[in-house]
Amino acid sequence: MNTKKILLALLLLCLAGKSMAQAPTSLDSLIGTIFIDTDGDCVQDAFEETLSNWEVIATVEDSLFGGLQTYSGFTDANGQYQIDLPGGPNYLVWQNGAMVQLVPPAGFGQYCISRCSTYTQVQTPGNNYTGYLSYALQCDTTPPCPVLDVSINTNFLRPCFESKYWVSYRNYTSLFISDASIQVTIDNPIQVLGASIPYTANGNVYTFDLGTVLPFAWGSFSITVFTPCDEPVGTTYCAEAHAFPDTCQSLAGPNWDGSRIEVSAACETDQVIFTLKNTGTGNMAAPLEYIVVEDNVLLMQSPGQFQLNAGASQEIFFPADGSFYRMEADQSPGFPGFGTPIAWAEGCGTGGNPSLGFVNQFQLGDEDPWLDIFCIESVNSYDPNDKQGFPRGVGEKNYIHQNVDLEYMIRFQNTGTAPAVNVIIRDTLPTQFLDPNTLRRGVSSHPYLFDMEGNGVVVFKFFNINLPDSNANEAASHGFVTFRISQHQDLPLESAIKNSAAIYFDFNEPIITNQTLHTIGKDFLQLSSTQTLFDARLKVQIMPNPAQGHVLVLAEGLENQEQDLSFRLISVLGEQSMQGQFRGNTYEFNAVHLPPGVYVYEIRNGGKLAATGKLLKL
């Protein structure tokens, strides 16, 4: 294969939602620079190398000659190029996710990935424009690993109404990725009505074959769904997009034991079942820890532990009482992946008051670039121009942990009286807390141009969006854009990350969204009280709790009273697991043969209920 003919279709001005888009204005010429961005700041510095003899190919819709025409130019010794576009008007056309195509010189011998770009326009006589388009690349002699970055989102789900999920994918490498596909898993109550590209279905898992994805190319598709009418407003529905191949990993640590921990949750009639499984090829060399949260309360005074051989699993049970349960586990040291094993169950059981709204308080475990999970609560109405940050955080201050990525969604709606030709969103990021160089653009409802203006200002430009007003077409009057960004490393505790955005509809004054808030915290989950006392004189201690083997129950405070204390342990199924009498103020038993899970204990005095609580068996 002639490597000179391998076109590096650089995805730098991020578009989503269509296979082809146009520049907003007619161009007379296109000018720019191609350079290696050594320090990763997207700015060409004097010490950075420029790239000469690269061919730049532009495709335009030419009104003079008709149809699509291609024009090209080569970079000079300073990495600069100029492409004159005769005739006109000429509208630059994106194809295969790229504004232009770059062809490296023969024998270049390096692999390049796109870092960022800048694009501006200057008006020329005759109401045409010169476009200034420069690219910042990062190049290496080591072949990159083939990976598709994937994103899934919807702007809202409303009971008894249709909605759309948008899925976008991007090849950020200079490799051809063959046999690519995306599996989308949508929560069962949501009904899939169709999609913009073909798919196959297996239950609630929908597979979209992509074929070969070109270097640096992008693509997107939509899925039309129907939200059920009979579930409570505020129910959380989740969708997961998993891109394949997914074998690109970071380097394993020298002491990695070969284990890979996965966590799943299942809702049965009377219980929630969490399963910890080692899907790796190696046995765990040492125990790992996990925690369990009920609503936003930490159930365990200390983390639970587990140790599994390759292929082995362990189940832990909780009552199906409508509570929100979430389990988070560790991976072995040196694990060559990014994601955290996490699973959750919301509203499981037949109770009339399910716990809702807790899912998005926590991270979802989708740090791997080929995996994206989006959860949203159903609503009847909402502010049409707003900004949301995920995870939302815990408590009034929206506490999150250090070094957790934030994903922002900005929603907009044209509530005017005429179509909006252009929509521009300006977002000034708090750069003292968030690192603009880590920004990853996600899925959007419409194509857009992206620009970083410095000082943390990012701009999303929806040119020629022609967004209908809500009176003419309410369903089509909405739009959204998403992006993901990392914190600066190890921010101080109590750092308050605040952010809002300005939305411009044509030449109107901007609409300022609400301000999001995230506070950096530690140990912000409330520790569960494991007991309820019906006799105020009684003090009960269960040691240890969580338990694995020998358990001591100590009941104090009734020493000067007549005592006839009994102990009873009940499983989540309502079955009695253990019963016995105290000796004085102590009761002892061995929990080693009990199945893992949550148990309810009762302490009675003379047959009268004196205390109840929970015991967690590991």
Give per-residue pLDDT as tens, 161-182: 999 999 999 887 767 899 999 9
Task: Give the mean model confidence (pLDDT) for residues 315-332.
Answer: 88
pLDDT digits (tens, 9 = 90+) for 208-244: 999 999 877 889 999 999 999 998 899 999 999 999 9
- pLDDT band per the 50, 70, 90 thresholds, residue 15: very low
pLDDT digits (tens, 9 = 90+) for 518-548: 999 998 887 765 555 566 678 888 888 888 8
Task: Let me know whether 535 and 506 are in one domain.
Answer: no
The verdict on residue 606 lying in a domain is yes
Task: Let me know whether 26 and 101 are in one domain.
Answer: yes
Among residues 101, 119, 140, the one where a domain terminates is: 140
CATH number, domain with residue 580: 2.60.40.380
Closest CA to 484 of 570, 364, 312: 364
| Whether pLDDT at 12 is above 60 | no
Task: Let me know whether 403 and 320 are in one domain.
Answer: no
- pLDDT number for residue 440: 85
| Whether pLDDT at 74 is above 60 | yes
Task: Let me know whether 544 and 521 are in one domain.
Answer: no
pLDDT digits (tens, 9 = 90+) for 138-153: 887 766 678 889 999 9
Domain of residue 540 covers 531-617
Q: Is the dihedral of CA 255, 259, 264, 269 positive or negative?
A: negative
Q: Output 562 or 585, whichever has higher pLDDT.
A: 585
Among residues 476, 510, 528, the one where a domain terminates is: 528
Q: Please give the tally of structural domains in the chain.
A: 4
For residues 290 and 398, give the distance between their C-alpha atoms in angstroms, rounded to a whole number. Answer: 23
- pLDDT number for residue 98: 59
CATH number, domain with residue 44: 2.60.40
Helix, strand, or coil (residue 432): coil
The verdict on residue 167 lying in a domain is no
CATH number, domain with residue 277: 2.60.40.10
The verdict on residue 31 lying in a domain is yes
Task: Let me know whether 427 and 398 are in one domain.
Answer: yes
The verdict on residue 169 lying in a domain is no
Task: Let me know whether 608 and 510 are in one domain.
Answer: no
pTM: 0.73
Task: Let me know whether 36 and 128 are in one domain.
Answer: yes
The verdict on residue 210 lying in a domain is no
Q: Which residues contact 230 (CB under 8 A, 6 or more apart)?
A: none
For residues 407 and 384, give the distance between their C-alpha atoms in angstroms, rounded to a whole number. Answer: 19
Task: Report the amino acid identity of residue 186.
Answer: I
Task: Let me know whether 352 and 452 are in one domain.
Answer: no
Q: Do 489 and 438 meet the contact criterion of CB atoms below 8 Å apart?
A: no
pLDDT digits (tens, 9 = 90+) for 76-122: 999 999 998 876 667 766 655 556 778 788 777 777 776 777 777 78
Task: Let me know whether 568 and 476 are in one domain.
Answer: no
Q: Name the one residue in this structure whose structure tokens are 């808030």.
A: 517
Q: Do 191 and 41 meet the contact criterion of CB atoms below 8 Å apart?
A: no
pLDDT digits (tens, 9 = 90+) for 478-515: 999 999 999 999 999 999 999 999 999 999 999 999 99
CATH number, domain with residue 514: 2.60.40.740
Task: Let me know whether 438 and 524 are in one domain.
Answer: yes
Q: What is the mean pLDDT of the chain?
A: 85
Q: Output 489 or 11, whichever has higher pLDDT.
A: 489
For residues 376 and 378, give the distance between their C-alpha atoms in angstroms, rounded to a whole number. Answer: 7
- pLDDT number for residue 68: 74
- pLDDT number for residue 106: 73
Q: Which residues contact 207 (CB under 8 A, 6 or more apart)?
A: 181, 182, 183, 184, 199, 200, 201
The verdict on residue 55 lying in a domain is yes
The verdict on residue 232 lying in a domain is no
Task: Let me know whether 537 and 493 are in one domain.
Answer: no
Among residues 528, 548, 580, the one where a domain terminates is: 528
Task: Tell me the DSSP string of 262-296.
Answer: EEEEEE-SSEEEEEEEE-SSS--SS-EEEEEEETT
Task: Let me know whether 35 and 134 are in one domain.
Answer: yes
Q: State the first-to-last Cα distance of the chain, in angstroms, to the nearest integer.
A: 58
Task: Report the amino acid identity of residue 284.
Answer: M
The verdict on residue 156 lying in a domain is no
pLDDT digits (tens, 9 = 90+) for 380-407: 877 789 999 999 999 999 999 999 999 9
